[in-house]
Structure 1
Amino acid sequence: MTQFKHDYDFDPSHGYTLDMLTSLQPPDAPPGFDAAWSERYARALTVDPRPVLSPAQESHPDWIVHDIAYSSTDRMTIRGWLLTPRTGTVTRGLVVGHGYGGRDAPELDLPVENTAILFPCFRGMSRSAAPPISPNAAWHVLHDIDKPSRYIIGGCVEDLWLAVSALLALFPQAHGRVGYSGISFGGGLGALGIPFDPRIDRGMLEVPTFGNRPLWLKLPCIGSARSVQLYARRHPEVLEMLRMYDAATAAARIRVPMIAAVALFDPAVAPPCQFSIANALPKNDFNQIFILDAGHSDYPENAAQHQALKDRVREHFKAT
């Protein structure tokens, strides 16, 4: 195990060795898990996304950058950015989810070609601010947590599905060739959303959260889980509700090629929760687990490891 000097009052590796991490399994699904998510997906697909494009301030030699707005469930308007290649033909689509810090700009260095890339800001965050939803992660993660069917995380997964709908409305030729990539918060949403959306043909989850909720509620961290842990002290019944929003349980149902990039040390998303998601993916020749020394942290091998990960991503999302 790689050890890092740090100032946290807890061990961000939580004492888990690599063997311990790779042996973790996802929690069993609660009754009605598959039916509830399948019904939620079916309802989301009744929404017409009606994507609207406008010129963006950003410019790039390889990409045409658009501002985009589309309709989601609960009459939410989701805003973000759409990138289209300046040369070549769009043959694939890619939705890119953000972390719990939100998103201020699109990523202009993703290693994909012939791909339309949609960067949504999930409801309540950044360009999709929607009071009374707080844009602060510590409060956002608690929004409607006492109303299981209305919990904000479910709505954000619906925003992901409607992002796919918006891409396909604009680029119908990408049908069957839409991928999803998400980091941290966006990684957890991807694990929850991908298994129930047959339009997504592959995915990448980097240091994903919301996995193995029993551990997620117990292991110390500085991330959004900390807010829910404090809430759970007063409302221990929340664990039963959160079983319906367990990204590791959902990941066991993913049947498309995946990359899971998971960290051995992470102060924001406990590594056992990340590995519970990665380990849940079916063992086959298509799925890859990429191990990072650390997540949500700078470290000596950061640049080299992320370059190696980018090379994997390039092959994974190669346009066909």
Structure 2
Amino acid sequence: MSIPTDYPFDFDPTYGFGVDQLRAIRPPRAPSNFDAFWRARHVAALGVDPQPQLGESGSSHPNWHVHDVIYTSTGDFRIGGWLLLPREGRVRRGLVVGHGYGGRDQPDFDIPVEETAVLFPCFRGLSRSSRPPISSDPAWHVLDGIDKPERYILGGCVEDLWLAVSVLIRLYPELDGRVGYAGLSFGGGIGALAIPFDQRIDRGHLTVPTFGNMPLWLTLPTVGSGHSVQAYRKTHADVIETLSLFDAATAAARIRVPMLLAVARFDPAVAPPCQFSIANALPTSNHHETVILDAGHFDYPGSEEQHALLSEKVRRFFRAT
């Protein structure tokens, strides 16, 4: 296994960091109002009635009953997605699955869990939760409301995740405290922000998560959503005040439940130093595991083998016990 050496970018997606250097990165200092900001938002989100509505889905699968789902999030935002229920066994766990910035056009039927109700929400403004004037283009979506922390789109997406947990508990009250979260890239960063403030979530799996270490995120070249924020910052220097409240690494330092992180040594869309900032921030007193991939957001030799091993770890991590 080795990192890619042939790539079409005008920058090195390792950013010159070796594994030892990546493991040494620490999160930035938290703003003084970080915890109060998120706790207040969580309290408000818990006061929202999600009013879940299940419908017949056009999709079918031999292992899963597939339902379309719509629920209400904060700001009366209607969130669409899918709910998978196992055809065999009873529901013993819940799992919310977040998506990358490309959105989602169907649930992941190969998710390696059993006896689990799996909810796939589309975060506000994206895919089944699109709503004008919010752009579904990541380059614009990531800027929506960025000048006002209380209105920044990322905060609404975190609340969509919390309301997804509320939906599962509304449908299956016995799942309170037995709901996990899994998120990739954009969904990984949203998960890191959400998990420490919601005690109903008992474990989390984040793959190549973004929004970690915002001071670094603003300086490293990228083909991801960070590029448009970097361009925005050139004329709005004070944007760092908003972004400091949405730093996934700062939030990760507050996570107190078991976590499974998958981070990459090479990634043109989410800089590895920012991914490792999140993994390294997790408190050492808790049960966490970090898996290092050769690359993220990029095809590479050996990727199938690495992801197969990761999938087996995910199966054990979310086992319905």
**TM band (smaller chain):** over 0.9
Q: Measure the CA separation in 2 of the matches of 1:76 and 1:298.
A: 36
Q: Measure the CA separation in 1 of the matches of 2:169 and 2:99.
A: 20
Q: Measure the CA separation in 1 of the matches of 2:122 and 2:242.
A: 25
Q: Measure the CA separation in 2 of the matches of 1:278 and 1:306.
A: 18
Which aligned pairs between 1:5-84 and structure 2 lie closer than 5 A?
5-84=6-85
Q: Which runs of 5+ in 1 are unaligned?
A: none
Contact between 2:263 and 2:276, CA under 8 Å: does it hold in 1?
A: yes
Q: Which moved more, 1:135-144 or 1:283-292?
A: 283-292
Contact between 2:4 and 2:295, CA under 8 Å: does it hold in 1?
A: no
What is the DSSP-based 3-state SS (H/G/I as helix, E as strand, rest coil) of the residue aligned with 1:8?
coil
What is the DSSP-based 3-state SS (H/G/I as helix, E as strand, rest coil) of the residue aligned with 1:67?
strand
- 1:241 to partner: Cα distance: 1.6
Which aligned pairs between 1:272-291 and structure 2 lie closer than 5 A?
272-284=273-285, 286-291=287-292
What is the DSSP-based 3-state SS (H/G/I as helix, E as strand, rest coil) of the residue aligned with 2:234?
helix
Q: How many residues align?
A: 320
Q: Measure the CA separation in 2 of the matches of 1:148 and 1:41.
A: 15
Which aligned pairs between 1:109-188 and structure 2 lie closer than 5 A?
109-188=110-189
Residue 310 of structure 1 is matched in structure 2 by 311
Deviations 1:256-278 (A, max 9, x none): 00011000000000000000000
Residue 103 of structure 2 is matched in structure 1 by 102
TM-score for both structures, normalised by structure 1? 0.99
Residue 248 of structure 1 is matched in structure 2 by 249
Which aligned pairs between 1:219-298 and structure 2 lie closer than 5 A?
219-284=220-285, 286-298=287-299
- 1:174 to partner: Cα distance: 1.2
AA matched with 1:95:
V
Q: Measure the CA separation in 2 of the matches of 1:201 and 1:187.
A: 16
- 1:2 to partner: Cα distance: 2.6
AA matched with 1:154:
G
What is the DSSP-based 3-state SS (H/G/I as helix, E as strand, rest coil) of the residue aligned with 1:37?
helix
The root-mean-square deviation of aligned C-alpha atoms, in Å, is 0.8
Q: Measure the CA separation in 1 of the matches of 2:69 and 2:134.
A: 21
Residue 204 of structure 1 is matched in structure 2 by 205
Q: Which runs of 5+ in 2 are unaligned?
A: none
Deviations 1:210-232 (A, max 9, x none): 00000000000000000000000
Identity %: 62
- 1:63 to partner: Cα distance: 0.3
Contact between 2:213 and 2:250, CA under 8 Å: does it hold in 1?
A: yes
- 1:4 to partner: Cα distance: 2.1
